[in-house]
Amino acid sequence: MTGLQLRELSADTALAANSLELLPGQEQFETPVTYANADPTLDPTKTWSRVITLDDEVVGFIRAYFDSSHPEQALQCCIWRVSVAATAQGQGVGRFAIEAVREEAAAQGFRVLTAVWSGDDQGPGRFFRHVGFVENGVTEYGDTIGSLAL
């Protein structure tokens, strides 16, 4: 999909990102148990959140976390959330978002990007594998850990 742009989160775009309509059932996979439990340990200044727009309409949201000193290796450089509007899924928005995180992670000196997801193939696992993540572990909460070399 051409014309996609990455924009910093603002009051206006945050509202649009929080209002993205996903495909039915996808909401249950937005926050894996691992992330829900780790959230209090995060330094909010190390969170990287962006929206993806097409013709000034928010069609996606990506949140990543970059903290080389975080005690959990899988959370040092990770995709925390990727959401794509139901009407824009399958059109390259998610891949565009992942590529933006890859570029930022590499610019910050990281060599591996991780993602943690829950659920079977109804969840985001198939998407993450499709864009190159390799499953390489399971968290203490049963969520899958995938990694992508930068």
Tens-digit pLDDT profile for residues 23-40 = 555 554 455 455 555 667
DSSP H or E segment with residue 77? strand 77-84
Least confident piece of the model among 12-26, 35-49, 51-65, 91-105: 12-26
Return the SS3 of 32. coil
Tens-digit pLDDT profile for residues 98-144 = 999 999 999 999 999 999 888 666 678 888 999 999 999 998 888 88
pTM of the prediction?
A: 0.84
**Strands, sheet with 77-84, edge to edge from the N-terminal-most edge strand:** 4-8, 47-54, 57-66, 77-84, 112-117, 144-149, 134-138
Domains (range + CATH), the chain: 4-149 (3.40.630.30)
